[in-house]
Amino acid sequence: MGSSSLFRIVLIEPEIPQNTGNIGRTCVSARCELHLVGRLGFEISDRTLKRAGLDYWQHLTWFHHATLEEWQEKIEDPKRVFYFSTKAKRLYTEARYQPGDWLVFGKETKGLDPELVRRNADQAVKIPLLGPARSLNLSTSVAIATYEGIRQLGESKSL
């Protein structure tokens, strides 16, 4: 991780280029890395991806890992990985974030693999849904999680 990166945002098999572009823009504004894992539902050169990221994409530090296993090899401390899922028991605000943490999100249509969430239940967190929607938009979820981490670090003076 670059010394100036705050968090590492991980998207497993993202499908919608506009979401990934928006997330890239959030990563640039929040000093986060973006890690794309597995098969993507678009080309990185996709016009809509770059349009959503506007002219910020050139400032984004990003990586593409071909497989989940390839990405997992990069993890220094599994306790610093947080898996965001509507199936998690613990709220995302209950986690105590630190610089360098990995914030992991699944694909837009299915979320994270339930088995991955089950295997990492202690590190799984959820953003509460109060209405009848099944989930939030992926880019919205990433922004909520990232800025909760920034809020916590500001309170602890880790920024």
pLDDT of residue 8: 98
pLDDT tens-digit map of 90-113: 999 999 999 999 999 999 999 999
pTM of the model: 0.92
SS3 letters for the chain?
A: CCCCCCCEEEEECCCCHHHHHHHHHHHHHCCCEEEEECCCCCCCCCHHHHHHHHHHHHHCCEEEECCHHHHHCCCCCHHHEEEECCCCCEEHHHCCCCCCCEEEECECCCECCHHHHHHCHHHEEECCCCCCCCCCCHHHHHHHHHHHHHHHHHHCCCC
Task: Please state, for a pLDDT cut of 70, what percent of the chain lies above it.
Answer: 91
pLDDT of residue 48: 62
Please, how many CA atoms are within 13 Å of residue 140, restricted to the half-sphere of its CB? 7
Residue 63 lies in a domain: yes
pLDDT tens-digit map of 110-143: 999 999 999 999 999 999 999 999 899 999 999 9
Instruction: Name the band, by pLDDT with cuts 50, 70 and 90, for residue 2.
Output: very low
Residue 125 lies in a domain: yes
Domain CATH for 72: 3.40.1280.10
Residue 2 lies in a domain: no
User: Residue 157 class from Cβ within 10 Å (0-12 exposed, 13-18 middle, 19+ buried)?
Assistant: exposed
pLDDT tens-digit map of 18-27: 899 899 999 9
pLDDT of residue 27: 96
Q: Residue 35's domain spans which residues?
A: 8-155
Tally of domains within the chain:
1
pLDDT tens-digit map of 6-17: 999 999 999 998
